Amino acid sequence: MCPCRTCLALCLCMATILLLGPCQWVGTAAATTTASQAVTVTDTASSDREALLCIKSYLSHRNGSGGALATWGSNNGSLDVCRWQGVRCKRRQDSGGGGALRVVTGLSLEGEGVAGQIPPCISNLTYLTRIHLPFNSLGGALPPEIGRLRRLRYVNLSSNALTGAIPTELASCSALRVVSLKKNNLSGGIPAALFKNCYSIQKVDLRMNNLDGPIPDLLPYHSSTDISSSLQLLGLTQNNLSGEIPSSVGNLSSLVYFLAAQNLLTGSIPGSLASLASIQVIDLTYNNLSGTVPSSIFNLSSLIYLGLGDNGFVGELPATMGNRLPNIQGLILSANNFYGEIPKSIANATNLVDIYMQENSLGGVIPSLGTLRSLQTLFLYNNKKLEAGDDWAFLSSLANCPQLGFLVLDSNRLQGPLPSSVANLSQNLKEFVLSSNLITGAIPSGISDLANLSVLYLDNNMLSGHIPASIGKLRSMFALNLSKNRLSGEIPASIGDNWAQLTELYLQENSLSGAIPAGLAGCRNLLALNLSSNAFSGPIPEGLFGRLDQLNWYLDLSKNQLAGSIPDEFSNMINLESLNISSNSISGKIPSTLGSCVLLQALRLEANSLDGQIPSSLATLKGIKELDFSRNNLSGKIPEFLEQFDSLQYLNLSFNNLDGPIPTQGVVFGNATSRLFLQGNPKLCAETIAVLGLPLCRAQNPSARNRFLVRFLAVLLPCVVAVSLLSVLFLKRWSRKPRPFHESSEESFKMVTYSDLSMATNGFSPGSLIGSGQSSSVYRGSLPSKTDDVHTMIAVKVFKLGQSSSSKSFLAECRALRNTRHRNLVKVITACSTCDPFGNEFKALVLEYVPNGTLADHLHAKYPGYGDGARLSLGDRIGIAADVASVLEYLHVWSAPPMAHCDIKPSNILLDDDNVAHVGDFGLARFLQHASSACAGGHRNATSSVGAAGSVGYIPPEYGMGSRISTEGDVYSYGIVLLEMLTGKSPTDESFHDGFTLHKYVEEALPRIGEVLDADLSEEVADLTSRTRARNTEVHKCIFQLLNLGLLCSQEAPNDRPSIQYVYAEIVQVKEHFGSCSVKET
């Protein structure tokens, strides 16, 4: 099970709660406005005009344009302030007897991109009753002067970036009815006076801030300011509030919503809460509350949602609780210490949608819940003691719950065979988990009727019989785990036929037999496949793993009866981290193509019949941690490249026919006694001192060695001289011939002419232009195939040869692309070096067309096609970060020779239709002499944005001081890009000047990620995290980890930056963690 499945908890009603926008409260809070009338400027108080212009001077639009504020003032707007956007007016009688005068009573600029801070001069709008400015970018502290607005009834500043404390002076606005400050970065305590002076207050929403201290006592100063009959919503969720819940909350007779989840509250629930006759939602999840829950709480018949999960409550649940909660929809009691049976009366709470009772100590038979027609989620896992009963009546009863989507019952005492009635469960069921129980018998074939099932976990039971062939009908299957049972027979051929979405397949530790079906190749998106500890026989199917090239978690075929050789096509799994085919009857040689699996961390081939030498191509596996080739027939010497494997923790080469001296350097060989196993190789020896009981190598006769060397040189030197002379003559003759550039490291490129490219791009027309830089322009085109009528979309990068650097850029890019192969690099199709019809030199690269624009387009919406509808989600951004890190790891570590890209920036990162990143523009790339060193390479950088340094904003600071090109420079650029993806701010943003950088902007804000998170991303994150604290915690943990990684990469000193291998590992970890939580959330 995914550790994040509790991220689904608390979803009921919370969507409704979070959707409680200000509109629901406007009727009681908003000031009455009048219809617009044609008036002159003299109809409005001049002081209001001056106040509005003062306010405008403190504000701006976050994208630099005027936005709504452009209408404020005589230059671009009306002289009548009541016609200014967002300004509301009302006619009042002039106290001086001068007739009716219109005054400003409201400011309403929701989601208008307003930045800056609210100035003290807002207090000069003396008739102001309404401030409605949510979903903007306002920062700074609320001015204390706001307390002078004695007529103020409504304040909504939610979803901004306000900081500092809530001013106590706000309580002076005694007419206040609505205060909504949620989703800011406010700190300090909650002013008690707010509840004591504001006698008509109806809504106080302070959720998602950094407030601390206790919940203030809600008793009024005197009876005339008693809020007990007015307050309807008290929102305190996701702060750092501590202490106990004050008993005075129970006096709030009109309270409908009490939201105090995700804080640090302690103590018990006060019994006074049972007096809340109007309460509909109580959310106290994710605190440190303890003790027993007052039974009277379960008498609150108006409750729709009761959230008590993830605390330390104890005791039994009242037997009649279901009878006393007729309106309950969400019952969240998970992760406490409740014991006893689940009350049967829950079946009488017929409005229930979500039941979360997992991770307690509940026992007994699960009651029948078939009366809950609206039930969508039933989480009872990890109670250890729950039972199914003799006839599994509870499961059969769930067939009457047509909305059921998630049924998770693992880690209990459910026993006996699964009933055939499982086929009658809801067609909406997506996740069905029964792992780690005592279930016996066969898997019911009717389980295939659950057409929308995407996760099926039946592992760690005692199931027997065959896997039903009908299971192949489950076309939405995402993860299937049948491991650790007693299943037999063959894998049904139907698995894989229609399972394109399957990412995880676990069948290990059963008694399955027969051949591994080639049909598994249909599972093209598999990330993990485990068939170990079965009785599979025959060869590994030819062509199967050539198609499963997405495997990257692990492939485990160990402990079977497989024969034949290791297929060369394993090399297609370039992202695979663990490969285990040990304990089979595999023969032949270790394929040299395994060296292509450069991300391997574990390679286990032990207990087979492999022979030959350990291939030198495995030297590319520099990240390997575990290597086991023991109990084979391998011969030859132990490769010296193993000394260079700094990550290697375990090396077992025992019981082979290896010979010669063992290496003496490296992590493993330097600590041979604990990590190295070489026994059973009688021809191995140690050169200096005895290691692992090996004998010393015999010294070779010096005179014999010298005679051999003389004879060898006598033959070799004349041959070398002859070959050198012939090579010089050939090169001179060949260099005189004109030739097009069309060679590749693997195959010849297709020949294209200037005419071909001109025709493909409509004569390099402006309509085909998709980008232009200082040294090149890029055109979109369509190139016909030479074998059929199919046209291929291409990108043609034409170099501006009038620029001094363009020829060098062309050659650099050709060299780089000819020596690199990676799925996240822009693929080069061919190149053209010729003359145009006017005799001018023409150089171009023909590249794969990546259709979805650049990362810069999406982050900053430069073009209409990349507007709000195409904003990148958090998952997209994490995936892009992983793609780019994968490319850099390949260039820095696995490329031969290593390479620095030197120009990582969003405009050089292209996105395909699935938002997979492809890194392009190798015009500044440099090959290095050493993999990662500040002194790597022989090219000093230029200090401009055109030369080897890169682009302004992304150039590492050491390049500006003349340091040589290095992989550390790429890491710096990557860190800046990562920060830009999360904040939405370019490093060249106008707000960064005088030493204040994007790095410092993020560094000063952490850990308050809300201050820097991109506004569009903030909305998505708020939606993702609104349902449960578990989801909130995990998502914020991912973002926090990414921001910290961006800061680490963009450290000023190169030596303080991490290696790209560390960066890639961290990104992949975040990606997998976020992905696993997302699966459970859906």
Give the pLDDT confidence of 985-1032 residue by residue, as tens digits: 988 888 888 788 899 988 888 878 888 888 888 888 777 655 555 556
Ranges 53-57, 66-70, 397-401, 1000-1004: which has the least confidence: 66-70
Residue 718 has pLDDT above 80, yes or no: no
State the Cα–Cα distance between residues 926 and 812, nearest whole angstrom: 7
Residue 703 has pLDDT above 60, yes or no: no
Residue 536 has pLDDT above 50, yes or no: yes
Instruction: Tell me if residue 601 falls in helix, strand or coil.
Output: coil
State the Cα–Cα distance between residues 223 and 293, nearest whole angstrom: 31
Q: Report angle CA 88, 91, 95 to the nearest 5 degrees.
A: 130
> What pLDDT, on the 0 to 100 scale, is given for residue 873?
87
Is residue 1047 within 8 A of residue 1041, CB to CB? The reply is no
- 3-state DSSP helix/strand/coil percent for the chain, to nearest 5? 30, 20, 50
Name the pLDDT band for 26 (thresholds 50, 70, 90). very low
Tokens standing for 228?
């007990």
* Mean pLDDT, rounded, for 630-640: 94
Cα-Cα-Cα-Cα dihedral of 102, 158, 51, 149, to 10°?
Answer: 70
CA nearest to 628, candidates 598, 608, 599, 657? 608
> What pLDDT, on the 0 to 100 scale, is given for residue 1027?
54
Tokens standing for 618?
């495995």
Length of the chain: 1082
Give the pLDDT confidence of 477-534 residue by residue, as tens digits: 989 999 999 999 999 988 877 788 898 999 999 999 999 998 898 888 898 999 999 9
Identify each DSSP E strand in 28-168 by its residue range. 59-61, 87-93, 100-108, 114-117, 130-132, 137-141, 154-156, 161-163
Name the pLDDT band for 463 (thresholds 50, 70, 90). very high
Is residue 231 within 8 A of residue 205, CB to CB? The reply is no
State the Cα–Cα distance between residues 886 and 892, nearest whole angstrom: 10
Residues forming beta bridges with residue 529, ordered by sequence position? 505, 555
Name the pLDDT band for 809 (thresholds 50, 70, 90). low
226 is an active site residue: no
Residues of the chain above pLDDT 70, percent: 80
Tokens standing for 860?
């900053």
Ranges 4-18, 268-282, 557-571: which has the least confidence: 4-18
Name the pLDDT band for 807 (thresholds 50, 70, 90). low
Instruction: Tell me if residue 602 falls in helix, strand or coil.
Output: strand
* Mean pLDDT, rounded, for 950-976: 85
Q: What is the Cα Rg of the chain in Å?
A: 35
* Mean pLDDT, rounded, for 129-150: 94
CA distances 181 to 142, 186, 459, 610, 707, Å, are: 10, 8, 47, 68, 89
Is residue 420 within 8 A of residue 441, CB to CB? The reply is no
Residues of 678-690 as b/e, b for ≥16 C-beta within 10 angstroms?
Answer: beebeebbbeeee
Helix-helix angle 967-983:1029-1049, to 10 degrees: 140
Q: Do domains 739-849 and 853-1081 have the same CATH topology?
A: no
State the Cα–Cα distance between residues 481 and 504, nearest whole angstrom: 8
Largest CA distance in the chain: 124
Annotated binding residues for ATP, written as ranges, equal 797
> What pLDDT, on the 0 to 100 scale, is given for residue 1?
44
State the Cα–Cα distance between residues 782 and 795, nearest whole angstrom: 8
State the Cα–Cα distance between residues 932 and 109, nearest whole angstrom: 52
CA nearest to 977, candidates 881, 1062, 1055? 881
> What pLDDT, on the 0 to 100 scale, is given for residue 486?
95
Question: Is 155 or 98 the better-scoring residue by pLDDT?
Answer: 155
- The dihedral of CA 1046, 1052, 1057, 1060: what is its sign? positive
Tokens standing for 435?
């792992």
Residue 37 has pLDDT above 70, yes or no: no
> What pLDDT, on the 0 to 100 scale, is given for residue 63?
67
> What pLDDT, on the 0 to 100 scale, is given for residue 898?
81
- Return the DSSP state at 891: I
- 288-291 LR contacts (CB < 8 Å, sep 24+): 288/264, 288/312, 289/245, 289/265, 289/313, 290/266, 290/314, 291/267
> What pLDDT, on the 0 to 100 scale, is given for residue 829?
79
CA nearest to 855, candidates 798, 910, 892? 910
Active site residue: 43, 876, 883, 903, which one?
A: 903
> What pLDDT, on the 0 to 100 scale, is given for residue 893?
82
Q: Which helix (H) or strand (E) holds 481?
A: strand 479-481
> What pLDDT, on the 0 to 100 scale, is given for residue 815?
60
Q: Which helix (H) or strand (E) holds 828?
A: strand 828-835
**Amino acid occupying residue 933:** S
Task: Concatenate the DSSP letters of all residues of 608-649 into one string.
Answer: SEEEEPPPGGGGG-TT--EEE--SSEEEEPPPGGGGG-TT--
Name the pLDDT band for 96 (thresholds 50, 70, 90). low
- The chain-wide mean pLDDT, for the chain, equals 82
> What pLDDT, on the 0 to 100 scale, is given for residue 44?
55
The CATH homologous superfamily to which domain 853-1081 belongs is Transferase(Phosphotransferase) domain 1 (1.10.510.10)
State the Cα–Cα distance between residues 263 and 244, nearest whole angstrom: 11
The phi, psi pair for 180, rounded to 5°, reads -120, 110
State the Cα–Cα distance between residues 404 and 430, nearest whole angstrom: 9
State the Cα–Cα distance between residues 674 and 667, nearest whole angstrom: 11
* Mean pLDDT, rounded, for 531-556: 91
Residue 816 has pLDDT above 90, yes or no: no
Name the pLDDT band for 943 (thresholds 50, 70, 90). very low
Boundaries of every domain in the chain: 564-696, 739-849, 853-1081
Ranges 212-216, 562-566, 1056-1060: which has the least confidence: 1056-1060
Question: Is 286 or 841 the better-scoring residue by pLDDT?
Answer: 286
> What pLDDT, on the 0 to 100 scale, is given for residue 920?
82
> What pLDDT, on the 0 to 100 scale, is given for residue 711?
47
Task: Concatenate the DSSP letters of all residues of 392-431 into one string.
Answer: -HHHHHGGG-TT--EEE--SS--EEEPPGGGGGS-TT--E
Question: Is 829 or 861 the better-scoring residue by pLDDT?
Answer: 829
pTM score above 0.85: no
How many Cβ atoms sit within 10 Å of the Cβ of residue 721?
A: 10
Burial of 225 (0-12, 13-18, 19+ CB in 10 A): middle
> What pLDDT, on the 0 to 100 scale, is given for residue 378?
96
Residue appearing with tokens 């990469």: 1049
> What pLDDT, on the 0 to 100 scale, is given for residue 565?
95
CA distances 113 to 61, 153, 160, 863, 990, Å, are: 6, 24, 10, 19, 16
- Return the DSSP state at 436: S
Give the pLDDT confidence of 351-376 residue by residue, as tens digits: 999 999 999 999 999 999 999 999 99
Residues of the chain above pLDDT 90, percent: 48
The CATH homologous superfamily to which domain 739-849 belongs is Phosphorylase Kinase; domain 1 (3.30.200.20)
With a CB cutoff of 8 Å and minimum separation 6, the contacts of 399 are: 370, 421, 424, 425, 426
> What pLDDT, on the 0 to 100 scale, is given for residue 811?
64
Ranges 92-96, 643-647, 979-983: which has the least confidence: 92-96
The phi, psi pair for 88, rounded to 5°, reads -115, 140
Residue 556 has pLDDT above 50, yes or no: yes
Residue 14 has pLDDT above 70, yes or no: no
Residue appearing with tokens 């820097």: 1012
The CATH homologous superfamily to which domain 564-696 belongs is Ribonuclease Inhibitor (3.80.10.10)
Annotated binding residues, written as ranges, equal 797
> What pLDDT, on the 0 to 100 scale, is given for residue 867?
42
State the Cα–Cα distance between residues 463 and 763, nearest whole angstrom: 68
Name the pLDDT band for 802 (thresholds 50, 70, 90). low
Residue 742 has pLDDT above 50, yes or no: no
End-to-end distance of the chain based on CA atoms, in angstroms? 14
State the Cα–Cα distance between residues 156 and 235, nearest whole angstrom: 13
